[in-house]
Amino acid sequence: MSLTPDLIAALTAVDTPTICNALEVAAPGRHATGFNREALTCPFPTMKPVVGHARTAMIRSREARPASDADKIALRLAYYEYIERGPRPSLAIIQDIDGAERGLGAFWGEVQSTVHQALDCA
């Protein structure tokens, strides 16, 4: 199913918990699976919901990645290519896998925000 403008408009009129509840009714096998169990805070509760195709990734900053500078650049470029070739509209969903020490490093800043905006990915 493609995200048509009408479908996007319909989905942005509904909050995420309502969508999740509807999915549990439509697909009972998904009950109690595939959701976050950690504390989650909405930093901007007055903003409208967004809809898009998820482009997922994982980050870790606690442990250094043993790679050459060239390998690090190649990995970052491969990530950007992955984001760029995905369907639109798209959303970057990035999981910090540092466990109890997650949040130690930052992925989002001026550069990443600008790059993702240029790649038409929220």
97: pLDDT strictly greater than 70: yes
Q: How does pLDDT run across 23-63, given as a tens digit for each residue?
A: 889 988 877 777 777 777 888 889 888 899 999 999 988 88
**Which token pair is 45?**
């509760």
Q: What is the 3-state secondary structure of 34-95?
A: CCCCCCCCCCCCCCCCCCCEEEEEEECCCCCCCCCHHHHHHHHHHHHHHHHCCCCCEEEEEE
CA distance 59 to 75: 12
Contacts (Cβ under 8 Å, ≥6 apart) of 122: 50, 52, 89, 90, 91, 92, 116
Q: What is the dihedral of CA 96, 101, 103, 104, to 10 degrees?
A: -120
Confidence band for 15, pLDDT divided at 50, 70 and 90: confident
